[in-house]
């Protein structure tokens, strides 16, 4: 169990699942996890903060996707909401913009309406998979494409 703690931060639910996989009786697992919490070896709030910081920076995930992931990891809604407060709407939008700019293929003919529509759908779908709202995704993609077309790149 200590190896689980040293490999990477884990939520209480993740550790409970690991103990269940190893056929540890539920009452023993609860006692072990309670002791870990008392010793501050596990803390869902710290885990959520770390998870949000890491996943938003490395994967450029939106708050919606991060909230869903935290829920899957067993973090309660209140703790997840507190962790998600570290990401401002401006930061989230800037991350989406940089992602779209990075994924926009060079040489894309934005003057061709069919090509522009195809590019818009591809990039907006990519943002949607990362948890961005469809309206936000289409707006950001449209703005980036307009900027690119205006600059002539």
Domain ranges of the chain: 1-42, 44-87, 89-151
Give the DSSP letter of residue 79.
H
Q: Which CATH code, of 3.30.70, 1.10.3470, 1.10.10, 3.40.630, is assigned to 44-87? A: 1.10.10
Average model confidence (pLDDT) across the chain: 91
pLDDT in tens, 13-25: 998 998 999 999 9
**Is there a contact between 10 and 47 (Cβ–Cβ < 8 Å)?**
yes
pLDDT in tens, 135-150: 999 999 999 999 988 8
Please check the confidence at residue 45 and state whether its pLDDT lies above 90: yes
Give the DSSP letter of residue 131.
T
CA 56, distance to chain mean position in Å, is 5
> What pLDDT was estimated at residue 108?
83
pLDDT in tens, 91-139: 999 999 999 999 998 888 888 999 999 999 999 999 999 999 999 999 9
pTM for the full model? 0.81
């Amino acid at each position: 169990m200590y190896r689980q703690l040293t490999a990477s931060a884990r939520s209480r639910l993740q550790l409970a699942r690991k103990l269940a996989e190893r056929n540890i009786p539920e009452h023993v697992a609860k006692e072990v996890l309670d002791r870990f919490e008392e010793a501050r070896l596990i803390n869902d709030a710290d885990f959520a903060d770390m998870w949000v910081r890491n996943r938003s920076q490395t994967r450029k995930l939106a708050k919606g996707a991060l909230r869903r992931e935290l829920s899957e990891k067993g973090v309660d809604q209140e703790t997840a909401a507190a962790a998600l407060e570290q990401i401002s709407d401006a930061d989230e939008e800037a991350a989406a913009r940089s992602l779209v700019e990075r994924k926009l293929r060079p040489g894309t003919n934005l003057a061709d309406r069919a090509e522009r529509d195809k590019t818009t759908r591809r990039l907006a779908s990519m943002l949607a998979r990362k948890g961005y709202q469809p309206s936000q995704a289409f707006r950001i993609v449209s703005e980036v494409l307009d900027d690119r077309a205006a600059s002539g790149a």
